[in-house]
Amino acid sequence: MSDIKPDVVLDTKGLNCPLPILKAKKALKGMENGQNLELASTDPGAVKDFEAFCKATGNKLVSHWMDGEVFMFMIERVV
């Protein structure tokens, strides 16, 4: 669980690579620096993918956790 209140919540459950990344990018584009995006995914590859995505784009992967079978991510828009 994350203590941060997200500014945007994105549900990508049921969508496979590369859709979670593409949808995250689209959401982040419409956000301000410092805002947080909470994203849910059922794609097992998502954990590695979001680490790589944040590293490459300079956005911050604040935290990731499991909510049952669902992978949850909190991303802060930095760039």
Partner 1 sequence: MADVDLGSAKKMTIICTKGTLDWAYPPFILATTAAAMDVEVTMFFTFYGLGLLDKKLNLGVTTLGNASMRMPMGGMQMAMPNMISMIPGVTAGTSIMMKNLIKKKGVASIEDLREAAVLSDVRMIACQMTIDLFEKKTENMIEDIELGGAATWMESALASDINLYM
What is the contact surface with partner 1 in residues (CB under 8 A)? Answer: 14-19, 21-22, 24-25, 42, 52-53, 55-58, 60, 78-79
Q: Residue 74: phi, psi to the nearest 5?
A: -120, 115
Nearer to partner 1, 15 or 72 (CB): 15
Residue 64 corresponds to which tokens in the numbers above?
């990731």
17 is catalytic: yes
In whole angstroms, the minimum distance from the beta carbon of 43 to partner 1 comes to 8
CB 40 within 8 A of CB 8: no
Q: Is the peptide bond before 18 cis (omega within 30 degrees of 0)?
A: yes
Please tell me which residue in 17, 19, 52, 66 is annotated as part of the active site: 17
